[in-house]
Chain A
Amino acid sequence: MSAVLRFDPIRLPPECDALRKDVRAFLAEEVAAGTFDPHRPHREGKDTRGFSRRVGARGWLGMTWPKKYGGHERSFLERYVVTEEMRVANAPTRHFFVADRQSGPVLLKYAPEHIKMNILPRICRGELCFAIGMSEPNSGSDLFAAKTKATKTDGGWLINGSKIWTSSAHVADYMIAIFRTSPSTKENRRHGLTQFLVDMKTPGIVVNPIRQMTGQTEFNEVVFTDAFVPDDHVLGEIDGAWKQATSELAYERSGPERFLETYYVLTELVRAVGPNPDTRAAEGIGRLVAQLHTMRRMSVSVAGMLQAGKEPVVEASIVKDIGTVWEQQLPHRVRDLAAFVDVDPSNHATLADQLAFATKVAPKLTIQGGTTEVLRGIIARGLGLR
């Protein structure tokens, strides 16, 4: 039992230091060029596609993938450094983030060779944006209730139904989605779903943007009407998508993006309180920094264990559970601590501005990519409770 939890004290290797400097210098250049404003996380950058290509040109996409697919065969820990520096800087990563983190690894594992040769190098060059088609109007956390159908036809499949809450679908080039190819069985309710690669330019696909409570329009409804997907776009086993989801989850769940989403309000609080905080502010900041440091150590540890070929699924779920709850509470704690701060109004405007945005973003953080409730169920299973 005590072997269930393992958090080896992993250190980033020395090559990460130089890489970190390069990333910081690159981001400073992009800020200077006006690509994005690190203090205004709610503003979409001006040139996210161009930014994506420049990140690709630096060799920071597909970092861990084989060179023959345009990758760079570097370690997960190096990728970790790039990811955390981009996140802390509020860089506009939306164009490439899903492709680099999630879609590429799925293609590497399950796509036929000619598809890999076609698509992966373009992800590495920062040219492609991916979306993930999981949730449907009547199936969110209960992934295996998905109803959108793929019906066999000559040379491929016809898709009918709809996906919802699909981030970036309005700008994406491709979607990796699960569709129902058979009914579920009595013995296995997870049976009958298949993973597909979908070209978003396929006739029969309509994307309807959905406005969010933050004022942004990041997610969408995607409606499929007899949209044709060719046979070679099936990813993995027909009816067996449920077997393919688990091992990638550790990568998806434990990254720095799982606790740094609202980090900017902490930086801004430190700026607002200035060099001589009162005891209350000092204690509050100290606790938040200790919690942040601890989560980062946990997250780096999981990255290191993944690099070493282990599968820390429970540990990764714990990182996302604790990390997302923390980043969700952060704007509220910062608001508490800023309550008595009397500062230069120009400073305070930035903090107030950021707090307003972070507070509105906060509710989604414990929902997207696996709710707190789903994660705790996975942890409980890992503990031997179900």
Chain B
Amino acid sequence: MADNDNIVVATAERIFADLADPQTITHSTDASWRTPLLHALSDAGLPLSWVPESCNGSGASLADGFGVLSAAGRAGLSVPLAETMLAGWLLAQADIASPSDAMTIAPTLPKDRIALNDDGTLSGGARGVPFASEARHIAVLASGAKGLAIALVSTADCRITAGLNIASDSSDTITLDKVRPIVVKDAPPGIDITTLLLMGGVARSLQIAGALETMLEITVAYANERVAFEKKIAKFQAVQHNLAKLAGEAAAALAAASSAADAIANATRFDDAIFLEAVSAKIRCAEAAEKGAAIAHQVHGAIGFTSEHILHRYTLRALAWRDDFGNESHWAVELGKRVATRGADELWPLVAAR
């Protein structure tokens, strides 16, 4: 998607091009590329895109932030940008100012819960929390006796068991044992665990769709270069049809994710139509990641399976992102139940609502 007519997105794309070059990152033997990248993103105000200026943020629109996430997906970005954006967004819902460094958010799985105790401390745990071991702070949605609360917690106060997702990005387990938050406030009406997961799910959908766009681009380019049986493999009909299917999967992911992002950016509340948009995006993007990554690898052959080739930066990340904020099976069951509850004759009116 040509987003560069948008200045916020263009800024993000320039930083990714300058400081997150996939070749450089793939060949790097240490993590030294991360610091200048994180600094540049921070200087441009991108991690706090969704935080109003009154809460230390840059006050960009939801739509601009979603555009940044698409660009991050296209770049196969592996630093906590989406996570910091989501954390800042959650904190801002309760007018909590964001710290200036990297954050993450919890919970990110549908079944994990963190409790707000009567004494104002937090207890519980969350698995699969992206970049918890790198972040200084976590934005937490906790359930208390009087309802939901939003809290800012220092990672230093939590027990963090480091883990990795299949793309080797941090995906950690955090345990809170009577942790005193830096700030805690009541969550406003309309913000609950489902809202948080839908928002995170749409972020991941945009990232997956972006990664698929790049998979398509580099796979088409490779097919036009690689010669086998005395011609470019792009000239073989079997390869062409596989690439057409990859384009279809990228298109479906792009359409579903952009539609959901646009729906949330223009919504006043998270109703059934928004639920349909957001979970459909997560389900369809996850399905597209599976089919698309398989074709991208098939066309690349053995070279794409090497550690030094950049392809896996996109394929493995797209596959890993399926698991965050509720996987496609989880959301399909939830959507199927809602559809069943509404009844057969209310399915089409839901689909045609927008």
Contacts and interface: CB of A to CB of B under 8 A. Distances in A.
Q: Do A and B bind each other?
A: yes
B86 to A, nearest CB: 20
B352 interface: yes
Interface in A350-386: 373, 375-377, 379-380, 382-386
B248 A270 contact: no
A63 interface: no
B337 interface: yes
Contacts of B234: 385-386
Interface stretch (A104-112, A157-165, A174-182, A292-300): A292-300
A271 B344 contact: yes
Interface stretch (B132-140, B304-312, B328-336): B328-336
A377 B345 CA distance: 38
Interface in B223-259: 223-224, 234-235, 237, 239-241, 243-245, 247-248, 250-252, 254-256, 258-259
Given A2-B74, A287-B328, A277 B241 contact: no
Given A298-B251, A298-B255, A291 B284 contact: yes
Contact of A282 (B2, B245, B283, B333): B333
Interface residues of B, number: 61
Interface in A192-248: none
Interface in A1-48: 1-9, 11-12, 20
A282 B351 contact: no
Interface in A264-314: 266-268, 270-271, 273-277, 279, 281-287, 289-298, 301, 314
Contacts of B328: 287
Contact of B220 (A1, A88, A274): A1
B332 A294 contact: no
Contact of A290 (B213, B214, B258, B284): B284
Interface in B302-354: 328-329, 331-337, 339-341, 343-345, 347-348, 351-352, 354
Given A294-B280, A385-B240, A385-B243, A6 B1 contact: yes
B332 A283 contact: yes
B276 A289 contact: yes
A301 B263 CA distance: 14
A315 interface: yes
B250 A270 contact: no
Contact of A297 (B243, B255, B331, B347): B255
Contacts of A281: 336, 340
A20 B341 CA distance: 24
Nearest to A385: B234
Contacts, number: 194
Given A2-B217, A84-B352, A301-B255, A293 B276 contact: yes
Chain A interface, >50% SS class: helix
Given A318-B251, A386-B240, A286 B283 contact: yes
B205 to A, nearest CB: 11
Contact of B258 (A1, A7, A284, A384): A7
Given A268-B344, A286-B339, A380-B241, A11 B354 contact: yes
A289 B335 contact: yes
Contacts of A284: 332, 336
B109 to A, nearest CB: 17
Contacts of A1: 216-217, 220-221
A295 B215 CA distance: 21
B244 A321 contact: yes
A322 B248 CA distance: 7
Given A5-B251, A275-B343, A279-B333, A267 B348 contact: yes
A282 B345 contact: no
Nearest to B261: A9
Given A290-B280, A290-B283, A318-B251, A285 B336 contact: yes
A184 B302 CA distance: 44
Interface string A47-88: 000000000000000000000000000000000000011001
B295 to A, nearest CB: 12
Contacts of A291: 280, 283-284, 287
Nearest to A266: B347
B333 A318 contact: no
A8 B244 contact: no
B252 A294 contact: yes
B279 interface: yes
A279 B334 CA distance: 9
Interface in B86-124: none
Nearest to A24: B349
29 contacts: A1-B217, A2-B213, A2-B214, A2-B217, A9-B258, A9-B263, A11-B354, A263-B348, A267-B347, A267-B348, A275-B341, A276-B340, A279-B333, A281-B336, A282-B333, A282-B337, A282-B340, A285-B335, A286-B331, A287-B332, A290-B280, A291-B284, A293-B284, A294-B259, A296-B352, A377-B240, A380-B244, A383-B243, A385-B224
